[in-house]
Structure 1
Amino acid sequence: MKMPRIVAPLLLTWLTACSVLPKAETPSIYRLPASPLSHAQGDAVRWSLRINTPQAGRMIDSPRIVVLPEGDVVSVYQGARWSDSGTVLFRNRLVDAFRDDGRINALSNDDAALQADISLTGNLSAFQSEYRNGQPTVVIRYDAQLVRTNGMRIVAARSFEVTEPATGKAVPEVVAAFGRADDALARQVVDWALQQSVSKN
């Protein structure tokens, strides 16, 4: 069966156009680098802790790697993504840090929804790279609260901020700076939480 004279040229044109369309870019997926914390020498505590995913703005609560190239301009690194949202990566790093420390045996996160004596919650107001003097610097800012789940009473609160310059402008170098910054902040949060008088009684 012969193809109609009008349809054949149109089909040829469509096939030619399809062959030159740009292919969708496959982004590079990055995990948040982490170095294990040293195991603490102190005694284990008798209370349990649940670590909640922090609240955050839409840009941070996503897999995009946020960068502030100048002033108040907010952008993201093209062709690069986190393996999960920034808030979940941050929470998981805190869980690992408390587990590495070893002084809290009864440890969980809000995915499991298990009952705990104390919950660690807060707001992740910065999880980004900022250009300072022409060089990217990672900024992580976390406003933490320890809340007694029986009665929902805040027993301690503190703001944490860590900055870490990247060794270069390439995305892998920025990602490595994120890992160093988050390691430092996680260590501070663990030490602070375990210094509080938050026994279950």
Structure 2
Amino acid sequence: MRLHTTTASLLMILLAGCSVLPKAESPSIYRLPATPLAHARAASMLTGSLRIETPQAGRMLDSARIVVLPEGNVVSVYQGARWTDSGPALFRNRLLDAFRDDGRMTALSSDDASLQADFSLAGNLGAFQTEYRDGQPTVVIRYDAQLVRTNGLHILATHSFEIAEPVQGKAVPEVVAAFGRADDALARQVVEWVTAQRVQ
């Protein structure tokens, strides 16, 4: 009886070390790189308050996966890689930081806080991905923006922005660096467009 018990115990130990279940994925988590914008002249400061809304996006973009279109209409993701947040949230936070860096609008908030504001910047994130163009990986970000006066929800202006930034390589860290450059450039354009509307 003791022999059978010992044999059974040994078998259980051996089986425990030979699991047929797949190992859990341990992805690399990437922040969106950002370079601060140059501070604008204090004389051109605007008095209106602005709320930056998280843009709408399709299901594939509205996640922490790093999206890639390797060919045609095929949509995929980089395996073992994640953003720290969803694409739309990263994009909104970069815009918020860009306005803070610029300094012309000091009364800023996001839709996370739900604070009252004179104006809101909303829109749709139509692309936040890598696309292969003639075999070259290129980061593409497309944002259709709406500047809205919150009193009466009147649309003041709309504009479509698109940036295509070549990736200097094909590894994921090089892709992430290209996302940072593309988002910096687009954020700079959005800040200039909004401030040109003289929101005050």
User: Shorter-chain-normalised TM-score: which range?
Assistant: over 0.9
- State the 1:11 CA deviation: 2.4
Give the residue type in structure 2 aligned to 1:38: A
Matched ranges for 1:79-98 at <5 A:
79-98=80-99
Q: Distance in 2 between the 1:29 and 1:95 partners?
A: 22
Please give the per-residue CA displacement for 1:134-168, whole angstroms capped at 9, x wherever unaligned: 12100000000001111011001000000000000
TM-score, normalised on structure 2? 0.93
Q: Distance in 1 between the 2:22 and 2:197 partners?
A: 56
Q: What's the secondary structure of 1:61's corresponding residue?
A: coil
Q: What's the secondary structure of 2:60's corresponding residue?
A: coil
Contact 1:30/1:82, CA 8 A, preserved across alignment = yes
Identity of aligned residues (%): 71
Q: Distance in 1 between the 2:122 and 2:22 partners?
A: 44
- State the 1:53 CA deviation: 0.4
1:144 aligns with 2:145: yes
Counterpart for residue 24 of structure 1: 24
Q: Distance in 1 between the 2:111 and 2:45 partners?
A: 22
- State the 1:5 CA deviation: 8.8
Matched ranges for 1:1-201 at <5 A:
2=2, 3=4, 7=8, 11=12, 14-18=15-19, 22-41=22-41, 42-199=43-200
Give the residue type in structure 1 aligned to 2:94: R
Please list every run of at least 4 consecutive aligned residues from structure 1 whose deviation after the TM superposition is greater than 4 angstroms.
3-10
Please give the per-residue CA displacement for 1:54-98, whole angstroms capped at 9, x wherever unaligned: 000111111000000000000000000001110110000000000
Contact 1:166/1:173, CA 8 A, preserved across alignment = yes
Q: Distance in 2 between the 1:162 and 1:74 partners?
A: 19
Q: Alignment length, in residue pairs?
A: 198
Structure 1 unaligned regions, length at least 5: none
- State the 1:14 CA deviation: 2.3
Q: Distance in 2 between the 1:177 and 1:35 partners?
A: 12
Task: Say if 1:102 and 1:16 are closer, same or farther in 2 by CA, change over 3 A.
Answer: closer
Q: What's the secondary structure of 2:18's corresponding residue?
A: helix
Give the residue type in structure 1 aligned to 2:142: R
Q: What's the secondary structure of 1:17's corresponding residue?
A: coil
- State the 1:23 CA deviation: 3.1
Please give the per-residue CA displacement for 1:79-130, whole angstroms capped at 9, x wherever unaligned: 0000111011000000000000000010111111110000000000100000
Contact 2:47/2:199, CA 8 A, preserved across alignment = no
Q: What's the secondary structure of 2:92's corresponding residue?
A: helix
Q: Distance in 2 between the 1:150 and 1:71 partners?
A: 44
Contact 1:118/1:148, CA 8 A, preserved across alignment = yes
Q: What's the secondary structure of 1:139's corresponding residue?
A: strand
Q: What's the secondary structure of 2:12's corresponding residue?
A: helix
Structure 2 unaligned regions, length at least 5: none
Residues 4-13 or 35-44, more deviating: 4-13
Please give the per-residue CA displacement for 1:176-195, whole angstroms capped at 9, x wherever unaligned: 00000000000000000011
TM-score, normalised on structure 1? 0.92
